[in-house]
Amino acid sequence: MWAYKKMLQFPINIKKKNVKMAKNIVTQLGGANGELGAALRYLNQRYSMPDNKGKALLTDIGTEELGHAEMISTMLYQLTKGATIEEMKEAGFDGVYTEHGYGIYPTDANGVPFTAAYFAVTGDPLADLSEDMAAEQKARATYENLINLTDDPDLLAPLSFLRQREVIHYQRFKELFDEYVEKGLQ
């Protein structure tokens, strides 16, 4: 089970409203390489890991990803809070407003809703861990694209933090993958 801590993993305090950036950042919540997909990927794959090491690592990283989904949602909330209808229209966010008002809904940057088809569970630890490594690299690349799209330090700080977490997660998955290959585990 899980217990909630009423805090973020990393502070987010965005002072400048920016609906356009919200429209881009939402992909890290509900896009193919987003945090929600990451959390569900690892938390579903963990059951078929061959040993306690794999079960532990996927549980712990999957849990951290839930916290990252909360961080991305926090950014979306703060970037759009108090935005006028005019600002929504200007940013091309009026379609999102029509469907969801000021609510936070997981889609990619083009408005395509989140789907479980973004991740796989094969039951094969090497196949699953390969996907996990690729997913971390794709999320890292997406964070770099987002970092290139803004110069607001209130956004750059949490985006850089989250990007760096992809680096660490990739490393841990790779260590486990290499160990399983060496042991001939499948």
* Residue 61 touching another protein (CB under 8 A): yes
* Residue 83 touching another protein (CB under 8 A): no
In the chain, the amino acid numbered 31 is G
Q: Please select the residue that binds another protein; options are 11, 95, 103, 123, rule is CB under 8 A.
A: 11
CA distance 158 to 19: 17
* Residue 145 touching another protein (CB under 8 A): no
Instruction: Kindly state the smallest distance separating residue 100's Cβ from another protein, in Å.
Output: 16
Binding part of the chain for another protein, among 6-14, 93-101, 118-126, 129-137 by CB under 8 A, reads: 6-14
| Integer CA distances (angstroms), 83 to 48, 98, 113, 151, in order | 45, 14, 22, 20
Angle between helices 35-45 and 125-148 (to 10 degrees): 170
Measure CA 77 to chain center.
16
Among residues 2, 7, 10, the alpha carbon closest in space to that of 163 is found at 10
How many residues bind to another protein according to rule CB under 8 A?
44
* Residue 149 touching another protein (CB under 8 A): no
Q: Please select the residue that binds another protein; options are 32, 126, 157, 185, rule is CB under 8 A.
A: 157
What tokens does 108 get?
Answer: 């990619």
- Residue 162: Cβ within 10 Å count: 23
What residues contact residue 171 under an 8 Å CB cut-off, 6+ apart?
none
* Residue 43 touching another protein (CB under 8 A): no
- Residue 16: Cβ within 10 Å count: 11
Q: Please select the residue that binds another protein; options are 17, 43, 50, 70, rule is CB under 8 A.
A: 70
Nearer CB in complex with another protein: 64/87: 64
Binding part of the chain for another protein, among 25-33, 56-64, 83-91, 106-114 by CB under 8 A, reads: 56-64
In the chain, the amino acid numbered 39 is A
Contact set with another protein (CB under 8 A)? 3-13, 15, 53, 56-57, 60-61, 64, 70, 73-74, 77-78, 143-144, 147, 153-154, 156-157, 160-165, 167-169, 171-172, 175-176, 179
